[in-house]
Amino acid sequence: MAKLYFNYSAMNAGKSTLLLQASYNYQERGMNTLLFTAAVDDRTKVGEIASRIGLKTDAMIFDDNTDMFQAIKVEKDTGPLHAVLVDEAQFLNETQVWQLAHVADRLGLPVMCYGLRTDFQGKLFPGSSALLALADNIREVRTICWCGRKATMVARLDENGRIVEEGDQVVIGGQDTYTSLCRKHWALRQLGPDDCAPTPTKPIVEPQGDS
């Protein structure tokens, strides 16, 4: 039975590389894949999925108005199609995630989504929230903080390389704009061992012992 998959991580964990490898594995076996990426992502060019290690390929684009089910059905009706892969899946909206679930359930195609879980303020993206609720299979793609612990959070940096506290949820940028941190150092706003950690901006509640 076809399933809806969600592979999530912090920044720079190699999500796009994994997507391109998965697509290659299908194509190597004579199967056809359909790739999507967000129209808002213009770090290389619109409609291109590019990995940090140099792999890249063209893809269809989606925006808030794209009917994912209909777009995929048209491609399936045109010729053989065996899998759908979606990069930057955090930019999907809830309706589109349901449409992708219907692709798996009604068209019998596996749908593999790759994206961030949370934004720079530690809040779920709408698409990621819906995928966490609806996906049949959820997998974390791991990367590490500068301290060596698992990185689960994303920090946004300004032009001086300091952490940004406020702003729009979506600002497209690469390694000079975002960095991945463990929860501890994200809360401390500490970017490295020589960075003087300020007072945490997130409230810390001390555990209470038994009275």
Residues with catalytic function: 88
Task: Give the torsion through C-alpha atoms of 138, 143, 165, 63, to 10 deg.
Answer: -50
Can you say how many angstroms the Cα of residue 168 is from the centroid of all Cα atoms in its chain? 17
Distance CA 111, CA 134 (A): 12
Which of 109, 27, 100 lies closest to 69 in space, CA to CA? 100
Beta bridge partners of 57: 49
Tokens of 175: 């390694």
Rounded-to-integer distance, Cα 24 and Cα 55, Å? 11
Cβ pair 23, 49 in contact under 8 A: no
